Amino acid sequence: MRLALKRRWPWLVAAWLPRTDGKGRARGELDLAWCHVCLAEGHATGGAYLDAEAALPLVFCRRHGTWRQDFCRRCQPHHEPRFSWRSRIEFTCTDCGVPLRTNHWSGPKPASECPSEDVPRALNLLFAFDGELRKALLGRSASLTGVGQVSARQFLAVLHGLTRALLAPDINRTSRINLFNSPLLSNMPDHDPQTWEEQPFHELSPAYRAHVSCAVIALLSDEPVSRLMSGVRPAYEWHSLEWLLASTPKWVQAMLIQNCKDWPAPLRVRVGLHHSRTGLDVADILAQFHVWLAEQEQRQRERVSLIG
């Protein structure tokens, strides 16, 4: 109440974190992620344990430059963290009881095969993008990679649209994010979507936000930066916005064309050129996709009813 979280974040879950899914992830309309240094400082001074920015879907703590985390790193928790009283209040893992301020996570290990000089360069780019995202989330204008200064609304609209396109399943239930291999992250995303439902950026874990952010930087940047952030070797086509538009399923292309009206003008022009070149009937494609999706959902309900 003192931090006015309910007023600032109306959909903030009352128990601080929603239930986990059994895989160490907290999921819900709004996820919290914390910095263990902030927790330790709060414990030492008797101050707040989670400040209002814990609800922002960021990768890094802006005060300490540390990777944020959203579950206990000493076990695979099945319950949300909780506050407990010992000599003073602690924010602890419900499953193993360990204070989360003692969870020292330095972030994902960099890819072993990348040149050593690539890691700090990529890290600086990701940290800068995360900082601009923070500005946009707080309603301020921000600098968008490859574009320049844009309004908060435009920044978030681009991030929303590209996240949707990168994580959208195709007919084989894979997605374009799996083609990105940032040097900051040891493994490729290996995204295997089981449903056609949208996965918003704010519901991703900090590590997955890093995957998506690196991919967005790659899509909007010039070729050298794009290759750095996506891990694409010189012999292969680099990942640009034009590449994404040409390689995604038609319903994703139509979705991007329809939603780019809220994007900055330079990006709208690039999407418009793709639309002109392909002649896609956006309304018809999206209508067909929604009919097909409704049929798939009906078949799934019928299977469930038969098994039940």
Summarize pLDDT for 96-114 with one digit per residue, the tens: 989 999 988 888 888 767 7
Residues 6+ apart with CB under 8 A from 142: 132, 133, 135, 136, 149, 150, 152, 155
What pLDDT shows up at residue 73? 87
Is the domain of 94 the same as that of 130? no
- Domain end residue (candidates: 248, 281, 299): 248
- Identify the helix (H) or strand (E) that includes residue 143: strand 142-144
Establish if 21 belongs to a structural domain: yes
Q: With bands split at pLDDT 50, 70 and 90, how would you rate the model's confidence at 11?
A: very low
Q: 152 and 213: one domain?
A: yes
Are residues 131 and 226 located together in one domain of the fold?
yes
If asked whether residues 103 and 128 sit together in one domain, one would say no
Residues 143 and 231 in one domain: yes
Per the domain annotation, does 281 fall within a domain?
A: no
How do beta strands 148-150 and 142-144 pair? antiparallel
The pTM of the full predicted model, rounded to 2 decimals, is 0.86
Among 231, 248, 265, the domain boundary falls at: 248
Q: What is the 3-state secondary structure (H, E, C) of 236-270?
A: CCCCCHHHHHHHCCHHHHHHHHHHHHHCCHHHHHH
Domain enclosing residue 36, as ranges: 1-107
Q: Are residues 98 and 187 in the same domain?
A: no
Chain centroid to CA 92: how far? 25
Q: Could you report the per-residue pLDDT of 164-184, keeping only the tens digit for each?
A: 999 998 777 788 998 898 888
The better pLDDT of the pair 73, 283 is held by 283
Q: Which of 200, 189, 197, 191 is nearest to 172 (CA)?
A: 191
Name the percent of the chain lying above pLDDT 90: 44
Residue, of 171 and 21, whose pLDDT is higher: 171
CA dihedral 154, 158, 160, 161 (to 10 degrees): 130
Identity of the residue numbered 147: V
| pLDDT tens column, 271-283 | 999 999 999 999 9
